[in-house]
Amino acid sequence: SRVRHYKFNVVLRKATRLCSTKPIVTVNGQFPGPTLYAREGDTVLVKVVNHVKYNLSIHWHGIRQLRTGWADGPAYITQCPIQLGQSYVYNFTITGQRGTLFWHAHILWLRATVHGGIVILPKLGVPYPFPTPHKEAVLVLAEWWKSDTEAVINEALKSGLAPNVSDAHTINGLPGSISNCPTQRGFTLPVQRGKTYLLRIINAALNEELFFKVAGHKLTVVEVDATYVKPFKTDTVLITPGQTTNVLLTADRKSGKYMVAISPFMDAPIAVDNKTGIATMHYTGTLATSLTTNTNPPPQNATQIANTFTNSLRSLNSKNYPAKVPLTIDHHLLFTVGLGINPCPSCKAANGSRVVASINNITFVMPTTALLQAHFFKTKGVFSTDFPGNPPHKFNYSGPGPKNLQTTSGTKLYKLQYNSTVELVLQDTGIVTPENHPIHLHGFNFFEVGRGIGNFNPKTDAKKFNLVDPVERNTIGVPSGGWTAIRFRADNPGVWFMHCHLEVHTTWGLKMAFLVENGKGPQQSLLPPPRDLPKC
């Protein structure tokens, strides 16, 4: 294993999309940002220098950060932000992971343009558990707003209403010419006839779960969230914000150009968004006068297609890559996730109320100093550890729900002993409207042992859990009006954020954190903070 050094200069750059130009925050002037390459076992040092007026931090989404929570990145959770003119070196070792992940800004809505891929290759000499591809390509899916994204969310917070949806969906930074700006070009992926490619697909969008299709070609899914899965063939990939999916594609046509399309999956029935992002796959050296477009992007509410995809995911669970599902459970938790309506006298546009979001009816309040520091230095009064393991009210969670169920608020953490095991049922609520919630847990991978529609029933549903080869990941789509059950082992001491990866829901408060205590043995405690850790 080696040590890899990267330098991320965070700078403003003018960018033109959809025939209009605006300044965006970027890493090294690139959008999407640079891809970080490493091998399993490598140590990565990224020096981030902030040259913009926004406070900033960067998260290495899905990297386990064993004992190095100081390098995880969520602002005010594991670190204070890096201020203008300051720098911070993120220093972490990649342990027991290989595959595709991504990095992104973890403060405000800067993730919109501050993101890029992470490619972790297997250790030298270790092959993929699938046929070696001819070439690999990283495809970063995202969203584009013509206006300034900070202005979009600030306006929404003032009004109490939902923010505007984006103006385009992008593949590697480009929307493609389907937009209302005909000269806008899309990304082109060159392929050679007969060869097989590994596509590393990343959903870096702020607020859209996405379908991904390539006209005239089948995709073989081989990995999600940097864990290998049992390969299966599909026409359509479903990928939520925060998820990554590796697929093999064989260029088994003769020639021509084929449309690569992304389109939203029912994220918010209140804000219908049917835009498609377009790229082109081109058989090199062949004439391509027209584009094969028979991708038929699924309709926004194509729940059937989404379910078929999700239900096909299984851990590879091979001799080399066993699924280590916890079989005995110390903490049985049920967390409701959903939206609520709280009073807001100044919110005229929303009739004196505003949309909020919560977990177990608690709208998380961000502290003004970092939780991990408060934990390490035992600073009192920053957080409490009384996050409830169950919702405060029993009701028909997935139904219309009791009216006017207001949320409470607080900076509450749930405490876990080192190496204890957790089963967490994430239950969507329909208090305002049922919605999908891609829930991301920092510092861990978990196994999705079950999912269903309606209310979770501990008696009947738990009997059907898959404890043999459930998919292992770091971000899970809780189905609209349903639930999902995950299991993990708390073997990483520190403070670990868990939140909805739809940025608007995080902003509204759909977030909390686990506090994992140090173990008693050697190498079971959080390392001390690095000397250049930013101060608040």
- Chain residues binding ligand C2O by CB under 6 A are 59, 61, 74, 104, 106, 242, 440, 442, 497, 499, 501
CA distance 243 to 494: 23
Which residue number, 215 or 337, has a Cβ lying nearer to ligand C2O? 337
Q: Which is nearer to ligand C2O, 375 or 442 (CB)?
A: 442
The least CB distance from residue 225 to ligand C2O, in Å, is 11
Only one residue has tokens 């399993």, namely 40
**In the bound complex, what is the minimum distance in angstroms from residue 124's beta carbon to ligand C2O?**
29
What are the tokens at 372? 């991990």
What is the nearest approach in angstroms of ligand C2O to the Cβ of residue 458?
Answer: 28
- For the bound state, the minimum distance from the C-beta of residue 363 to ligand C2O, rounded and expressed in Å, comes to 17
Residues contacting 409, CB < 8 A, separation 6+: 362, 363, 364, 365, 509
Q: Which is nearer to ligand C2O, 178 or 512 (CB)?
A: 512
Q: Do 440 and 498 meet the contact criterion of CB atoms below 8 Å apart?
A: yes
Name the nearest CA neighbour of 222 among 41, 40, 471: 471
Decide if 117 contacts 203 (C-beta within 8 A): no
Judged by CB, which is closer to ligand C2O: 276, or 492? 492
Q: Nearer Cβ to ligand C2O, position 179 or 240?
A: 240
Judge residue 353's burial from the number of C-beta atoms within 10 Å of its C-beta, 0-12 exposed, 13-18 middle, 19 or more buried.
middle
Pick 191 or 205: Cβ nearer ligand C2O: 205
When CB distances to ligand C2O are compared, the closest residue is 61
The nearest distance, CB 370 to ligand C2O, in angstroms, is: 14
Other CB atoms closer than 10 Å to residue 183's CB: what's the count? 8
CB of 372 to ligand C2O, least distance (A): 14
- Spatial distance between the Cα atoms of 281 and 173, rounded to a whole number of angstroms: 16
**What's the closest the beta carbon of residue 102 comes to ligand C2O, in angstroms?**
8
Q: Which residues contact 479 (CB under 8 A, 6 or more apart)?
A: 307, 428, 436, 451, 452, 453
In the complex with ligand C2O, which residue's Cβ is closer, 106 or 505?
A: 106
Q: What is the nearest approach in angstroms of ligand C2O to the Cβ of residue 365?
A: 16
Cis, bond preceding 32 (omega within 30 deg of 0): yes
Residue 159 Cβ, how far from ligand C2O at the closest point, in Å?
25
**In a 10 Å sphere around its CB, with 0-12 CB exposed, 13-18 middle and 19+ buried, how is residue 495 labelled?**
buried
Phi, psi torsion values for 213, nearest 5 degrees: -140, 150
Q: Assess contact for 496 and 444: CB atoms under 8 A.
A: yes
Whichever of 58 and 449 has its CB closer to ligand C2O, that residue is: 58
**How far apart are alpha carbons 176 and 144 in whole angstroms?**
12
Closer by beta carbon to ligand C2O, 450 or else 509: 509
